[in-house]
A and B are shown apart, each in its own frame.
Chain A
Amino acid sequence: MYKFDYLFFLHELWVAITYIPLTLELAIVPMLFGLVVGTILAICRIQNIPVLNTLIKIYILIFRSMPMVLMILILYFSFMYGFDTLASFFHLKIRSGDIPAIVLAFIILSVVSVAFMAESIRGALQSVQKGQIEAAHSIGMRQRTIYRRIVIPQALPVAIPILGNTFIGLTKGTALVYMVGVTDLITGVKIEANASYRYLEAYIAIAIIYWLLCIVIEQGIRLLSHKVNILARG
């Protein structure tokens, strides 16, 4: 009969709590990056810029139709090999092994996040009625003014829940970065359990922290979208 070790569980819970800032960093940095680059890509797609539009479409399709683990592993190995090739080409002493794993994790998660963000943002921007944009054109607004004053204020209430879901997805995605060698929440908590084989306690502690994070984020988004809705109504 398995005896659940409550004391060890509480200890693991505490260890997991100390990793919350790192987990949030791993989610927020790629999200912000994805938000900026994703917006640019979304606008490129809406403006229907030739070639570029097709390239972005392929990029998004590939990243959305593949499991995240495989994307992470492929990006990891490609980056490592690519970096080494480049470094030896330029006769640099630095090798991919010298790059901190956390930097790699940021880069990889950002590349993944851009694809998801771009699609969410495009959906939100296109939810604004065509007539609105045409009306703005007809009174002589410039493209940039239209985005700033017509499209974005209307797209924002639509965008926030979608982006929020993407953010939750990214937060859960941080549970995979241990595969590229980052000492994250999972590794940190698991190390403690290695001596006693009490992995069940460790994983339940990890699960509770992720669960709490997701609940807090969800509530935050709900609050934010409530506020924005009030603002949008004017």
Chain B
Amino acid sequence: MQLTLARHPVTDLRFDTPARLEGSILLIDRAELRRLVLEDESIVSVDFDIARPGERCRAGPIFDVIEPRAKAPGCGADFPGILGAPITAGIGTTHVLTGAAVSVLAEISPDPTRSATGRVLEMSGAPVEASEYSSLQHLIVIPHTKPGLPRQTLEKAYRLAGIRVAVEVARSAWNHLPTNLQTFEPVGPGEKGRDGRARVAYVGQIFSRQRKPAVDEPILYGANTDGMLPVMLHPDEWLDGAVVPSLHSWFGGTETYFYQNHPIILELYQRHQAREINFVGTVATIAGSDNFDRERHCRAAANLVKWNLNADGAVLSKYGGGLPHADLAETARLLEGMGIKTSVMVSDVSRDRRVESALLFNVPEVDAIVYNGGNGKQWEVPRVDRIIAATPEFTELLAGPMTIDASNIVGITNQQGASRMRAMVY
């Protein structure tokens, strides 16, 4: 497998026809994108807007953030299994508009019991130093769906609108020379010339079956994970569109952008290239809905790491809510029992800010824990010049000034390892 990321830095977005890339300015043809988005019968109209770093602007609720990327012609499918045939991702050249993002808004709150606003994108003020998204040029996609559709139909429409637009705008880079070509050194259980380096694997949950997925819910190559056992993926498959977040989990802190720029995978790649480690591969797994499921998934994931990847160490991350912490800890425990050292990354679950409420497992072998923060930090954010929202209600709700929880700013309570917000014990 050999993925080449052809990077084109983008420093500004503008609306114009025809769509094109002029130097580092991306010109976007709204009419063309509108035609594309409206192919989905669930969407009756769509608006577009632009949010720039430093601008006194707030957008929300954010359903997803996607990096504009397009496979070079003949190199395979974008988001295989969703937009095209489920052929292997991670092969050949993919054009990337570095510094840009396509961000999709929703017309509903993801979880009214936890947050009325959903997650918002702040482009100015104090929160920007905590979210990588604030430094990107955002094309905001604002879909308006047919009234009365079931929630998962809406969410699927948002997902498809976002990735279709992201691919389409990135195609403007097709005929341009990239500024930078990024390739990664070969990774695999049998790579030669790395004797003596620690063999390290990544085990990442991609779904939590706390909720049964919709029949047509795209997660892994378009499949909804029903009947799935843990599976080995090449790291380039994660980076190149094989995995997207589930439809219901847009409050959980996973966005398509950080699959495409997976912080853990990129970190392991960097150590691999520096000859610090031998990155042997990854396993994609799911959190079970009950102990029976959990046993099956955790054992299968641990077995792949041991017997197929022959790893000495593994880093693990979770997906979804509280329950997946149990699967995470159990998989790590099984690995430790096989002599494979582990470290795990968990979400901040302490709602009373007490250390005693911080962990959802107590497994002595799981002794290397990275703890994300976000439940205890708030900012006073001012009224801003511009609110980008899909409904008048959200425009009003997001206007400010208001107190906003860090967990309600997209990019901070990130389960893919992108955040620098840490809950410190004191």
- Binding partners A and B: no
Report B's interface with A, CB cutoff 8 A.
none
